[in-house]
Each structure stands twice: as structure tokens, then as C-alpha cells.
Amino acid sequence: MQIDSLDFKRLLPTWMQEDTVDLAFLDSVNELTKSLANHAKVLTRWDKLDQLTDAELDELANELNIDWYYSSADKDTKVNLIKNSDIVHSKLGTDYAVNQTIEDYFGSGHVVPWYEYDGQPYHFRIETDQIQRVADNYLLFLDILQKVKRASTVLDATVLTLQAETPVYMGVCYHELTVETVNFQNIEEE
């Protein structure tokens, strides 16, 4: 027998197979077992998230009630959002939830609280170096941010940081100057 097609009535001893109470009870158990078997199939999805199609990822995100999930995101972002959904759900309204969502959508970035940049209380800003991803999805990200941040906090700015390597040339000049001292006391007046 397969777990999704178990028939517990077949396991009853012959002297119990005509008892209507037992049969009714086992009909309920059979239905419950089928339902649990269908839910158990979902458990195998977690170790195969990378192999799921976009439609399956969207369905799973809907089942998990991930409010900050958008089906327009790329597949890697969707997988990361699903993998991190439980911890973000448990920490909604905290810097951790915002930081994790930033990492899931942009790849890198973090929240800077107001006291680290002399802002107003309950304000924050976001710093990231993912300029193109921010530019492509900024309005979407602002909408997502409203779903994971604390309602009383205010985003002051999104700061894009740039890193560049450039050669720096330095020069040092050294000039030695010798000064001879003259003793004016020994000079005779003419």
C-alpha cells in the first residue's frame, strides 16, 4: 500500500469488519491519512527548492503566506525568500527582517539606524552597493519594505555606495639645506 491510498479497513480483523462504528472511524482515519500524505509531499519540496519551477515556487510562497514575495522576482531571489521566510516571519518589524529582505532582493545591503548618522528617532536609512538592482526594482522594494519594517519607522534615504580602485601616485621631495652660523661678536667694527 502507498501512504496516500491506505485503507485501514483492510487491516481490521474479521470479527471487527462488520462493526459500523469501527468502519465509520476508519473511513475518517483514511481521509485524514490522505490529507496528511498530501501535506507530507510538500515537505520534500524544501530540499529541492532549486529544482522547482517558477510556478511551483509561487504556489509555495502563497502557501507560506510570504507577503513580501513577488512573482516577478528572479528564480534565485524567490528561492532565497522562501528559504528565509520562517525567520523573517518571526522577526517582522525588526532590523533583522529588513536586512534579510534587502539581502534576498539586492544581494547585499543593510539598515543604518538613526543614531548612527545623527537622524531623528525611529528613522533609518539603507546602504547598499547594488546600484543596478536598486534602480531596476526601487519602487517594488519600497512596497516590500512597508511589509517587513515596523510601521512606526521611517525610511530617510537609500544610500548607494560605490567602490572603485584607482592608482594613487605619491611623491616625496627631500631637500637638505645647510645653514652656517656666523658669530657676530668676533667681527671688528671698521
Edge-first strand listing for the sheet containing 123-128? 110-113, 123-128, 154-160
DSSP codes joined into one string, 66-103: -TT--TTS-HHHHHHHHHTHHHHHHTTTSHHHHHHHHH
Say whether both 25 and 89 belong to one domain.
no
Is residue 143 in some structural domain? yes
Is residue 28 in some structural domain? yes
Say whether both 107 and 145 belong to one domain.
yes
Say whether both 37 and 84 belong to one domain.
no
Euclidean distance between CA atoms 159 and 147, whole angstroms? 20
Is residue 59 in some structural domain? no
Say whether both 36 and 104 belong to one domain.
no
Say whether both 129 and 77 belong to one domain.
yes
Q: What is the span of the domain harbouring residue 8?
A: 3-43
Is residue 85 in some structural domain? yes
pTM for this prediction = 0.60
- According to the model, what pLDDT value does residue 73 have? 87
- How many distinct structural domains can be found in the chain? 2
10-residue stretch averages of pLDDT, the chain, 190 residues long: 73 83 86 78 72 89 90 89 92 92 87 92 91 82 90 90 82 77 58
